[in-house]
Structure 1
């Protein structure tokens, strides 16, 4: 009963809002060559969307509506598109720019990589099982099909201290930190680790994320080695 009451409260808004703020800041601080259009236009649009979403659920995510859902997905999409453009521009700069700007570009690569982790974590969080509001308020039998299978979803037949935290026993549902970890491990290992994609869209998203992370890593290593060799 305690876990069900906790679930009805809804997921806390602050962690996801701070995650979005970090992504916005990372983009706004990129070098001018990697920015799409005027520096503050896209961050300003993202802030407006974030404020609108936070107004609906300022403390806990308990209310859902078509427009709020559309605004949330638009925000994630805008961050994703802006970062994808920055990634393309970054790859061009890494290949064509001399060693005098190597440090600046390597820092920018870290910003783009981290934003990539954040945006895919947000996408997984928004899409899986109907989104954060549905996951904490709908009975499991009414949830949309899962996009991911977490370890907690299959721990109910293990030792007691492990099964106590399983989805079946404790009514556990994933939160933003779980999806950020999935995204981080996918970007680091270039493949799923402990959480498996189930749906086609989840597999496509994870595939794109791991590929882009691999490309960034390869070019950053090449640029770093080249810079060391030139000294």
Structure 2
């Protein structure tokens, strides 16, 4: 698909760019003991990778745009998971204060929503380019609008906000609420997000019990 798409096709990626910068910013303000290196390193890596991605967007190199976007979100996901593991470690070693732990957990919980919102937006039906060109692959997420009989939803297509809503529900309920998960890769992503969210909540609950 990416090869055959005309160079002048423009897929709106402003939400993606904003989400990537927001994730990098959230991870960059974590406590130093929750990151593998300097806490600003993830944000710098994301920005560095965004530069060639923006170039490929304007030049219409859709294959490279998708490859770089998947690389960026993979780096951010690894950063998120490593920080969650360090958060769990800090609970047992008591190297962080209660206030600091609650703050870091809140930052990671918020970052988890954005990270997986981007994943869902990037993988569903083959990616944003295929959805934009109406030449989609098999559906990963079946939104309620797609099965509605109302004429107003006939030409409806999910936007980034719909994937953000799906990620938010998964983070809070540990499962999607109104959207069916169809593909294996989508199920793996949902399980991963739910597990990360649950771990963060367990850390908060354990710390709260310890304080009490």
**TM value normalised by structure 2:** 0.89
Give per-residue Cα distances to partners, 1:189-221, cap 9 Å, x unaligned. Answer: 011100111001111110111122112112202
- Quote the Cα distance in structure 2 between the aligned partners of 1:52 and 1:118: 22
Superposition misfits of 4+ residues, deviation over 4 angstroms: 8-11
163, 167, 171: which one pairs with 1:179?
163
- Quote the Cα distance in structure 2 between the aligned partners of 1:226 and 1:39: 27
The answer on whether the counterparts of 1:64 and 1:133 sit within 8 Å (CA) in structure 2 is no
Cα deviation for residue 146 of structure 1 reads: 0.9
The corresponding residue for 2:184 is 200
The corresponding residue for 1:72 is 69
Gaps of 5+ in 2: 1-7
Secondary structure of the equivalent of 2:97?
Answer: helix
- Quote the Cα distance in structure 1 between the aligned partners of 2:22 and 2:37: 20
After superposing the two structures, state which structure 1 stretch, 42-51 or 77-86, moved more.
42-51
The answer on whether the counterparts of 2:28 and 2:41 sit within 8 Å (CA) in structure 1 is no
- Quote the Cα distance in structure 2 between the aligned partners of 1:36 and 1:183: 26
The 5 A counterparts of 1:28-177 are 28-57=28-57, 63=60, 65-97=62-94, 101-138=97-134, 142-155=135-148, 157=149, 163-166=150-153, 169=154, 171-177=155-161
Q: What count of residue pairs does the alignment treat as equivalent?
A: 205
Cα deviation for residue 124 of structure 1 reads: 0.7
- Quote the Cα distance in structure 2 between the aligned partners of 1:97 and 1:24: 26
- Quote the Cα distance in structure 2 between the aligned partners of 1:45 and 1:101: 29
The answer on whether the counterparts of 1:10 and 1:137 sit within 8 Å (CA) in structure 2 is no
Correspondence 1:225 to 2:209:
yes
After superposing the two structures, state which structure 1 stretch, 178-187 or 38-47, moved more.
38-47
Aligned-pair RMSD on alpha carbons? Answer: 2.0
The answer on whether the counterparts of 1:53 and 1:72 sit within 8 Å (CA) in structure 2 is yes
Give per-residue Cα distances to partners, 1:13-61, cap 9 Å, x unaligned. Answer: 3222111111000011110001111333322111111222233336xxx
The corresponding residue for 2:3 is none
Rg larger in structure: 1
The answer on whether the counterparts of 1:87 and 1:112 sit within 8 Å (CA) in structure 2 is yes
The answer on whether the counterparts of 2:109 and 2:200 sit within 8 Å (CA) in structure 1 is yes
Cα deviation for residue 11 of structure 1 reads: 4.9
- Quote the Cα distance in structure 1 between the aligned partners of 2:106 and 2:14: 24
